[in-house]
Structure 1
Amino acid sequence: MNSPHFNIETIGIVGTGAMGRGIAQIAALAGLTVRLFDTNPQAIDAARSYLGDTFAKLTAKGKLNDIEGRTALERVTGAPSIESLADSDLVVEAIVENLEVKRKLFRDLEAVVSGLCILVSNTSSLSITAIAAACNDPSRVAGYHFFNPVPLMKVVEVIDGLRTNPAVGDALMDLARRMGHTPVRAKDMPGFIVNHAGRGMNTEGLRVVSEGVANFVEIDRIMREQAGFRLGPFELLDLTALDVSHPVMESIYHQFYEEPRFTPSPVTGVRLAGGLIGRKAGEGFYCYVDGKQQVPEEAPAPSALPQRVWVSRSHPEAREAVLQILAKANVTLDDGAHAAADSLLVVTPFGLDATSAAVEEGLDASRVVAVDALFPLVGAQRRTVMTTPATTREARDAGHALFASDGVPVTVIRDSTGFVAQRVVATIVNIGCDIAQQQIASPQDIDLAVTLGLGYPRGPLALGDALGAKTILTILQNIHRVLGDPRYRPSPWLARRAQLGLSLAQPDAADAPNAAGAAQ
């Protein structure tokens, strides 16, 4: 079958909210003719006025010249009716997230536009295949998921429904590049790439807080300063707002038929019901005064160092890092095979809680503290120390003082399989690996989408490679062993590559380009 050639020069946009306006802006600046339609005619005028102001501001900042700004606005016109979109080469739907409303719109559009007009939805959570099923020709229907604010979030997901002609996706990829965005290609699965991959940070952060391990502020500090993320999970939830993020969490969970990895939390449900939805409401997990986040000051660390410290030999690299901290603090090392009766006992578990680590090594749990060594301890921006339920206050404070002795802030948490950073990061990597395993997107596009769409320091696969696939696998296996919770079962993609010593970003060798030629 010959694939049609799609020449996209005129774009119709249905819906003139933030997303519709943003798409119109980048399209007009790319030289495309834009037709705006909304069921409320006043909304069309407001959108065009907004774009005029935006182009004027960009001109004032020197990002456009006068001619470019005026010309871009001239390319944007209002469409008084659906029929006015008849000459469009592409129509982008950016309306309410309701499947039946979208399906009706697509039926109406199909009756108006030409047979070579592409119809796309900007949906973030609904099935493209389900939307396309309303059309006589589902082959020209695809997903085109931009992120808010569109001009600044330079990534767009191109989603192929089950019946989408591949040439449609190809044309959308080319158009995205023309508009200055990076396109990533995904299959039609719940959450596509970004909202799917984003479950790890939020749902695991919520799981940690619901277990009473640490509070919102402490978890955010750990993920930001120890793990290197721009925002912690609760800062991110406040930014996106729970009236947006909680329904997405529930939707993806149910669309995956109650997959344990995506289990929502009653924490967000209760806060949503109470109106504590985030920054835009002035209160969420944090309070906001004049738009500024209010964060409580961190209490100073105890000053009394331990007299003597015994350090587990279970993880030699982690032990060596702890020894460097001991030496700098001039604290005596208990180097015996068995600890002296008055030594502070330091363990460095990966995936285990402090209790399990103490029991497995036959240690006196009342003197045990655990330190998270997934990220470098020496030169750290923050360290996390964990206690067992039996750890005395004296031992806890001594461990806190030791690991803060060089001025690095320390967060002390209650016992948790995988601390905080370990379990959140391992969950992020594991879900990314499952997206690759299910062939929802290529490894390259998974990492691209997550870094650009979520602002993570690395994509999940690159993050797993940087920390070590075997280490991530060990963390998940140990959490799964201790808790028995299927949400922590390792992805086959992760387990196989860890065993073989392969990069998580590496596709199967037989699927790589020129694999057959290389084998000859």
Structure 2
Amino acid sequence: MTSTFETVGVVGLGTMGAGIAESFARAGLGVIGVEAGPEALARGRGHLEGSVGRAVAKGRLTEAESAEILGRVTLTTSLEDLADADLVIEAVPEVMEFKRALFTDLDRVCKPSAVLATNTSSLSVTAIAACTTRPGRVVGMHFFNPAPVMRLVEVIHTLLTEEGLAEEVAGLARRLGKSPVTVGDRAGFVVNRLLLPYLNHAAVLLESGLATRDGIDTAMRLGAGLPMGPFALLDLIGLDTSYEVMSVLFQESRDRRHAPAPILRELVSAGLLGRKTGGGFHTAADDGRDAARPPAGKSSAGTVAILGEDGDDFGDRLTGAGFKIVPVEDAEVVVALSSTPVIELAATLPHPERLVGLHLAGDRVAEVASTVLTAPGVAQAVEGLVRVTGRVPVPCRDRAEFVVDALLYPYLNDAVRMYESGYACADDIDTAMRLGCGYPAGPFETLDRLGLETVRDGLRALYAEYREPYLAPAPLLERLVAAGVRSFRDLP
């Protein structure tokens, strides 16, 4: 059955629902917005008018265009007004009971040819479709906030979805100026299934004492080039929302990597939900960005020994700043540039307490890894040396892959597993993470840049250190490296 979409219903006009209604109206479609009662409807109207008004104030819309957009939207408190809609999308709270009850009502009200869509970010579309008499006409259409601005839409099909319907809905998303990706019905779909485990893993590493909150945030922003650190992002998303998504993922997979971190549960239980409550991992007055500003001052060390490959540039910068590079036995501090733990190297030195590992992450960060033998003053002195070279130091423990790679590699591994499962292609996964999260590159683009073998070896090291099954390299990654394949783009 070929669908023609000209009139769209939107149920739930909170910030997200109103944004979805605006997106359809901007594309020239007639929109019927539904809310539960007069007060909620007035709030929904306020969301719509406020969003369009801000676009006018910024010069993105004219007054005439604004009037046309708002004129295409009809607001009502009756579901019965959706009887002739071609597609109805819901944006009600992420509670399965609410959504199933609503879809039962929509199934009764809407014409048989109408497509029913859910904007759920992580719940089972199949379970929602099953409560209707038209499961083949039910899809997921997951917009991202703010809907008028964000280009990504995840279109989710189930085993029951009529052949070709998901692509028709994706075509509708393109009419809105969006970039759709079509995926299967797995908890979290693409973005949340990759993003939330990464954020949760950061919380686990924080609890383990690997590094501080600000250190991890700084490492991932400046060292991995991400728009926000994981804890700042968790606060923005909402810790309660993040906890709920992780719980949904764990309920489906029963995988330890999807079990919400205990600190996440504790903060939610305490009512510290992030920005919306004025405090979470960060307080309202502390967004974590100050940690990335290197304080003034020099290192207390005067003589330095540098070990490891690629240390010439670091040494030249120190020499230019007035520090003296000397042999190990004469140095106040010993810096070992390394991508792996340095405790075994420290144990071979006459003064193991003087050695600190240094891992250069990107162009702006240096992870300063203290071993169990490192003297506190030595670590602080090396942090000063790092600042002299123009980098931001991130103190951490001497653990496999330190901070950046310890968080980045499992995320890439999850992407490989997602691709291997066959429910999303590499290009769609890359597009979803770039557009949905603002990442500079998708996971497969990142894998190609880093090298499959490098990531495989890093995961092996993480698995050897932490013994968590999810850290073991994905079987496909192992096979590709063994076969000498350098890029997922080289696969047939």
TM-score of the alignment, normalized to the shorter chain, above 0.5: yes
Q: How does 1:103-502 map to 2 (within 5 A)?
A: 103-257=100-254, 259-289=255-285, 295=290, 300=296, 302-305=298-301, 307-312=303-308, 316=309, 318-325=310-317, 328-329=320-321, 340=329, 344-350=333-339, 352-355=340-343, 358=346, 365-375=352-362, 380-502=363-485
Supply the distance in 1 between the matched residues of 2:61 and 2:383 (Cα, whole angstroms).
Answer: 54
Q: Which consecutive residues of structure 2, in runs of 5 or more, have no partner in the other structure? A: none
AA of the residue aligned to 1:271: L
User: Equivalent residue of 1:238, what SS?
Assistant: helix
1:287 Cα deviation (Å)? 1.8
1:145 Cα deviation (Å)? 0.5
What is the CA deviation profile of residues 219-256 of structure 1, one whole-angstrom value per residue up to 9, with x for unaligned ones? 11111122211100011011111121121122212221
Q: Is the 8 A contact 2:304 2:334 kept in 1?
A: no
Supply the distance in 2 between the matched residues of 1:268 and 1:34 (Cα, whole angstroms).
Answer: 39
What is the CA deviation profile of residues 311-358 of structure 1, one whole-angstrom value per residue up to 9, with x for unaligned ones? 13xxx4x445545545545656567xxx547574433443x4333564
1:188 Cα deviation (Å)? 0.5
| Gap change, CA 1:386 and 1:46, over 3 Å in 2 | same
Supply the distance in 1 between the matched residues of 2:220 and 2:401 (Cα, whole angstroms).
Answer: 13
Q: Is the 8 A contact 2:37 2:77 kept in 1?
A: no
1:507 Cα deviation (Å)? 6.7
What is the CA deviation profile of residues 443-476 of structure 1, one whole-angstrom value per residue up to 9, with x for unaligned ones? 0111111111111121111122222222221111
1:364 Cα deviation (Å)? 6.0
Aligned residues: 491
| Gap change, CA 1:332 and 1:64, over 3 Å in 2 | closer
Supply the distance in 2 between the matched residues of 1:294 and 1:321 (Cα, whole angstroms).
Answer: 27
| Gap change, CA 1:42 and 1:402, over 3 Å in 2 | closer
AA of the residue aligned to 2:373: A
AA of the residue aligned to 1:99: M
AA of the residue aligned to 1:205: A
| Gap change, CA 1:187 and 1:114, over 3 Å in 2 | same
1:501 Cα deviation (Å)? 4.3
Q: Is the 8 A contact 1:128 1:159 kept in 2?
A: yes
2:23 to 23, 26, 44: 26
| Gap change, CA 1:294 and 1:331, over 3 Å in 2 | closer
AA of the residue aligned to 1:189: R
Supply the distance in 2 between the matched residues of 1:142 and 1:439 (Cα, whole angstroms).
Answer: 19
Q: Which consecutive residues of structure 1, in runs of 5 or more, have no partner in the other structure? A: 510-520
1:196 Cα deviation (Å)? 0.6
Q: Is the 8 A contact 1:302 1:397 kept in 2?
A: no
Of stretches 98-107 and 219-228 in structure 1, the one that deviates more from structure 2 is 98-107
What is the CA deviation profile of residues 187-219 of structure 1, one whole-angstrom value per residue up to 9, with x for unaligned ones? 101110000110343122112211112211121
Provide TM-score, normalisation by structure 1.
0.87
Supply the distance in 2 between the matched residues of 1:393 and 1:123 (Cα, whole angstroms).
Answer: 49
CA RMSD of aligned residues (A): 2.5
Supply the distance in 2 between the matched residues of 1:412 and 1:49 (Cα, whole angstroms).
Answer: 47
Supply the distance in 2 between the matched residues of 1:85 and 1:270 (Cα, whole angstroms).
Answer: 43
| Gap change, CA 1:416 and 1:363, over 3 Å in 2 | farther
AA of the residue aligned to 1:466: R
Supply the distance in 1 between the matched residues of 2:433 and 2:350 (Cα, whole angstroms).
Answer: 41
User: Equivalent residue of 2:489, what SS?
Assistant: coil
Provide TM-score, normalisation by structure 2.
0.92
Q: Is the 8 A contact 2:305 2:326 kept in 1?
A: yes
What is the CA deviation profile of residues 407-436 of structure 1, one whole-angstrom value per residue up to 9, with x for unaligned ones? 323222233221111111112211111111
1:39 Cα deviation (Å)? 2.1
- 1:514 maps to which residue? none
Q: Is the 8 A contact 1:334 1:343 kept in 2?
A: no
| 2:77 counterpart of 1:41 | no
Q: What percentage of aligned pairs have identical amino acids?
A: 33
Q: Is the 8 A contact 2:29 2:72 kept in 1?
A: yes
1:91 Cα deviation (Å)? 0.6
User: Equivalent residue of 2:132, what SS?
Assistant: coil
User: Equivalent residue of 2:216, what SS?
Assistant: helix
1:487 Cα deviation (Å)? 2.8
Supply the distance in 2 between the matched residues of 1:163 and 1:429 (Cα, whole angstroms).
Answer: 30
